[in-house]
Amino acid sequence: MKNTFLVIFAVITVAFFLACKGSSSSAEDKKNFDKDASYALGLNIGAGLKDGLKGDNVYPDINEFMKGMRDGMLGKEPRFSLDDAREKIEAAFNAVTQELYEENQQRNEENRQKGIDFLAENLKKPGVIRTESGLQYEVLVEGNGPKPTEDSILRVHYEGRLIDGTLFDDSYERQEAAVFSPSDVIDGWAEGLLLMNVGSKYKLYIPSEIGYGSMDYGPIPAYSTLIFITELIEIISDYGY
C-alpha cells in the first residue's frame, strides 16, 4: 500500500511540475511531443499506476483522474494544492484498507466456521478417526512397511483439496512423487504422515489450526480446512537430508 501511494504521489508531482514548467514558458518556447510520444508518456504513467495498484485491487475513477492530469498539464487552477492532494490520497487509501480488512475478517470467520461445521459432520462418517490435535483421518490402504520419524526423508504422492473440492496441489497430476521431511510441512500433514506405515494411503482432514492458520497461502485462503489424500511410498532416509 505504501509503495502504491508513492507511485501515485510521484505521478501527481510530475503533473504539477509539468504544469508549472508549461505555465512559465511562452508560446514560442513550447516544444510539443508528437502523437506517438505523447501516447507513450501517458501509457508509461498508466502502466506504472496499474502495477502499483493491482496488489491493492483498487483503481481511481478514470474520468476524474484524467481531469486532474489535464488540469495539471495545462496549468489550470487545480481544485486543491499538492499537499491537499496527498492528504486526500492518503485518506482514500486508509478508507480502502479498513474496508478490505473488514471484508477479510468476515471472509476468514466464514471460512473458519465452514471448516468447523465440515469436520463435525465428517467425524460422523464410518472409519474417520480424530486425534487429540483435531486431525481427522481415514485409512484407505494400510501398508505394512516401517513408520517414519519427524526427521525422515519421504517419497510421497498426494492430492490436496479445499473442503469445497477445489484442487490446490496434486503430485499425481505432475506424475512425480514429492520428496520432503515431515518437519518441512504443516503440523497436521506431518502428524498424519507419522501415523502411516510405508505402503499406506490415508485421507487426512486438517483443521486450519494445524494447517496454514490465519495466512493466505497461494490458492489456499486463510482459515481453510484442508483435505490431503496421502500415499507414503518410501522412506529415503531416517537421518535427514
Structural domain includes residue 113:
no
Residue 201's domain comprises 126-237
CATH of the domain at 209: 3.10.50.40
pLDDT of residue 95: 84
- 208-232 burial string, b = 16+ CB within 10 Å, else e? bbbbbeeeeeeebbbbbbbbbbbbb
| Final residue in a domain of this structure, among 57, 79, 101 | 79
The reported pTM is 0.68
Residues 38-55, mean pLDDT to the nearest whole number: 75
Quote the number of domains for the chain.
2
Look at residue 240 and tell me whether its pLDDT is greater than 70.
Answer: no
- Which residues does 74 contact at the CB level (< 8 Å), separation at least 6? 19, 22
Look at residue 80 and tell me whether its pLDDT is greater than 90.
Answer: no
Structural domain includes residue 109:
no
pLDDT of residue 143: 96
- Kindly indicate the confidence band of residue 93, based on its pLDDT and cuts at 50, 70 and 90: confident
List pLDDT tens digits, range 67-78. 887 887 777 888
Structural domain includes residue 34:
yes
pLDDT of residue 26: 47
List pLDDT tens digits, range 179-215. 999 999 999 999 999 999 999 999 999 999 999 999 8
Structural domain includes residue 147:
yes
Look at residue 21 and tell me whether its pLDDT is greater than 70.
Answer: no
Structural domain includes residue 215:
yes
